């Protein structure tokens, strides 16, 4: 992530625009993008402000208020899937958000048993094929 452009540079860019230079010429002169110059002019026109927007300090924890309920659900039924946990919490969040929260709390969830069976079957089939190939040579 790059740093915000200083207010001083923003003022100089707008001064150059006000003097009659075109957007492309100003962008080239100050080594910024033409879209930045257009957006800066638009922002000054619409809001009267030219400062950079404040930056967020990280992702907003969407399930912070539900952490204890989530711990209780996992404790009551440790083999619940993410979909089941989301449904029981009654919160509309993506499954990835729920997973990241569980990971941050150090909690684990049920693995997909059908997938585990398929993986085990696939591996055993592969080892059988490898045994046949080595017996043939």
Q: How do residues 24-50 score in pLDDT, each as one tens digit?
A: 999 999 999 999 999 999 999 999 999
Residue 19 reports pLDDT greater than 90: yes
Q: Taking the CB of residue 59, how many other CB atoms lie within 10 A of it?
A: 8
pLDDT confidence of 114, banded at 50, 70, 90? low
Task: Kindly report the backbone phi and psi dihedral angles of residue 9, in degrees, each rounded to the nearest multiple of 5, phi listed first.
Answer: -65, -40
CA–CA distance, 35 with 23 (Å, rounded to integer) = 9
Q: Does residue 119 surpass a pLDDT of 70? A: no
Residues 64/71, Cβ–Cβ less than 8 Å: no
Q: Measure Cα distances from 4 to 35, 40, 74, 81, 113 in Å.
A: 15, 12, 43, 42, 49
């Amino acid at each position: 992530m790059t740093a915000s452009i200083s207010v001083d540079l923003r003022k100089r860019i707008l001064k150059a625009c006000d003097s009659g230079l075109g957007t492309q010429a100003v962008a080239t002169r100050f080594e910024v993008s033409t879209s930045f110059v257009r957006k800066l002019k638009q922002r000054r026109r619409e809001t009267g402000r030219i400062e950079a927007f404040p930056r967020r300090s990280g992702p907003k924890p969407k399930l912070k208020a539900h952490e204890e309920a989530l711990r209780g659900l996992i404790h009551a039924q440790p083999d619940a899937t993410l979909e089941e946990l989301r449904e029981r919490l009654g919160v509309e969040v993506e499954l990835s958000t729920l997973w990241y929260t569980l990971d941050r709390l150090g909690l684990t969830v049920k693995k997909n048993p059908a997938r585990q069976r398929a993986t085990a079957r696939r591996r055993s089939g592969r080892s059988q094929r490898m045994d046949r190939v080595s017996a043939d040579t």
